[in-house]
Amino acid sequence: MATAAAQRTARTADSAPDTVDTAAYQHAFDAAVAADERIEPRDWMPDAYRATLVRQIAQHAHSEIIGMQPEANWITRAPSLRRKAILMAKVQDEAGHGLYLYSAAETLGTSRDELLDKLHSGRQKYSSIFNYPTLTWADVGAIGWLVDGAAITNQVPLCRCSYGPYARAMVRVCKEESFHQRQGYELLLALSKGTPQQHAMAQDAVDRWWWPSLMMFGPPDDESQHSAQSMEWKIKRHSNDELRQRFVDICVPQAESLGLTLPDPDLRWNEESGHHEFGPIDWTEFWDVLKGNGPCNEQRITQRRRAHTEGAWVREAAAAYAAKHTGGTDGTGEAGHETGAERA
Amino acid sequence: MTATGPATVPVTAALALGDDALVLSHRLGEWAGHAPVLEEEVALANIALDLLGQARILLSLAGDEDELAYLREERAFRNLQLVEQPNGDFAHTIARQLYFSTYQQLLYAELAGGDGPFAPLAAKAVKEVAYHRDHAEQWTLRLGDGTQTSHERMRSACEALWKFTGEMFQPVEGLDADWTRLEAHWQESVTDVLGRATLPLPEGARTGAWSAGAGRQGLHTEPFGRMLAEMQHLHRSHPGASW
């Protein structure tokens, strides 16, 4: 196909293109995107496309890492050994997802260290949902069902994203996420069908997590700055409101079979549109949490910074050891690489 | 409470091995979200999960896993004092892991080779444990032979935990093992790793008046009660509930 051929000739990564070439490259890039081809790391791409992807993938990776905290909060208190094993495995998967995503971001010419530095200094964000606290065991189930459910709704279309490394990372992430989501649902079901206290615990958790989960799809379409460009680049395939509607439509029958209600008096089926109508979202709260004023923003970033700072001597030791024994200096986390990461 | 398993399984031994795995798994679970590098989030959780898997099988041999984990009080736990020690810094966690996984690998290899009731479990677990030991060894080398700071921290951790290592070789009722030989092999292996890590072998006693065999008799250190309080709180708050 002509567009593919044009794109291939543009794969010159090393030679700095002059202005005339840039126009040709831009044309080849546009054609490749239009033809639903994948852009790969060595392909020419517009600076803004690269920057958008770095921002989005990094934010996604950061969310996996910060997202470990609200759930890890319950590892030591999980009420049965089976649930404890499931939760540990899930938190471990999240660290793994963070690693894939940092690797995907690195193909764009940045580094994990640089991205972590931006997270720690607040120059890059993570998903606001993780600024809400996990107050009871049922929150672990609500996060699995609603938060992972919303994440999957957002992420499945990313498996077809125009940037190859991101799309491929998402295939694996989505598989594991949907497994987590089913486990969360099953946890809530056990509570809902359990004692009256357990049922109340499950309902309370759903009441607290429902609206923040709907906010995970981002601002309404008419207030979403990056949406139009991202859709044009085929990084994004559906609008925020479209995905949010899809999520509500999926959740309503699931809530019914869980025997739990959703905390929205305006929620009703619209025969004509074939969708569930739902009440207004509190966008003031959304922007407030995004700006750093959520219930756990401070706590989450402080813990992340502390883990990094307190672990500095360990990373330095690994690097010093590597320099002594292999002549290299890139020894950070080497022991973990050889063992844990491979087995995960 | 009394736990009775199938007649062929020595309950004391199942509890000793199961509690070791349960308690150390719990301690490693406390690292989630706090590890020095992302690869270690994965590795520590991985080891914790392996140990939890072992604990579930072993406790199930002795009775109901959740009843045993969540409804026994401190004095009924049979784990080594070593595994209940708080995580401390990364060096403490690694020293504890090196001491324990070296012991566990030698013991499980011996049990796997026999025809006792723990042979099938040990045969499966010994592969996991070999990985745990390798992980601990790799980090002992890096910390011991890394920077001056890491060397000092690792040395201090190895020394601090040394007094809990003698308990591992107190015979356990129902476990058919040559404890003297195990202890000699353990000493040899730990001496070798510490030597390569440029770390001195701690000189203090490996048992004290209180620690020799104490955990196996239900005599624990102070941090253990607090650990159990956290672990058991939710389960105990909902008597009879299923999760």
At B4, the pLDDT band (50, 70, 90 cuts) reads very low
The shortest CB-CB distance from B238 to any of A91, A197, A337 is to A197
Helix (H) or strand (E) run with residue A269 in it: strand A268-270
The shortest CB-CB distance from A307 to any of B34, B44, B59 is to B34
Assess whether pLDDT exceeds 60 at residue B189.
Answer: yes
Residue B61 CB contacts under 8 Å (≥ 6 apart), including other chains: B5, B6, B9, B14, B18, B117
Assess whether pLDDT exceeds 50 at residue B6.
Answer: no
Cβ–Cβ below 8 Å for B146 and A98: no
Say whether B238 sits in a helix, a strand or coil: coil
The shortest CB-CB distance from A88 to any of B52, B59, B145 is to B52
Give the helix, strand, coil percentages of chain A, each rounded to 5. Answer: 70, 0, 30
Assess whether pLDDT exceeds 60 at residue A336.
Answer: no
Query: Mean pLDDT, to the nearest integer, of B188-203?
Result: 98
Residues of A in contact with B24 (CB under 8 A): none
Q: What is the pLDDT of residues A300-328, one digit of tens each?
A: 999 999 999 999 999 999 999 999 998 65
Q: Note the ipTM here.
A: 0.95
Cβ–Cβ below 8 Å for A92 and B41: yes
Residues of A in contact with B199 (CB under 8 A): none
The shortest CB-CB distance from B241 to any of A92, A195, A313 is to A195
For residue A227, the model assigns a pLDDT of: 86
pLDDT over 90 percentage in chain A = 86
Optimal mutation site among B24, B37, B152, interface A, most CBs of chain A within 10 A: B37
Q: What is the pLDDT of residues B119-152, one digit of tens each?
A: 999 999 999 999 999 999 999 999 999 999 999 9
Closest Cα of chain B to A251: distance in Å?
Answer: 22
Closest Cα of chain A to B178: distance in Å?
Answer: 30
Q: What pTM value is reported for the model?
A: 0.92
Residues of A in contact with B44 (CB under 8 A): 340
Alpha carbon separation from A256 to A50, A212, A276 (Å, rounded): 43, 20, 14
How many CB atoms are located within 10 Å of the residue A9 CB?
A: 11
At B213, the pLDDT band (50, 70, 90 cuts) reads confident
The shortest CB-CB distance from B65 to any of A81, A91, A190 is to A81
Say whether A145 sits in a helix, a strand or coil: helix
Q: Name residue A275's beta-bridge partners.
A: A270
Cβ–Cβ below 8 Å for A317 and B231: no
For residue B5, the model assigns a pLDDT of: 45
Residues of A in contact with B70 (CB under 8 A): 79-80
For residue A18, the model assigns a pLDDT of: 61
Residues of A in contact with B33 (CB under 8 A): 68-69, 72, 91, 303, 307
CB B52 within 8 A of CB A106: no
Alpha carbon separation from B221 to A190, A302, B210, B228 (Å, rounded): 36, 31, 9, 12
Closest Cα of chain B to A260: distance in Å?
Answer: 17
Closest Cα of chain A to B222: distance in Å?
Answer: 18
- What value does the mean pLDDT of chain B take? 95
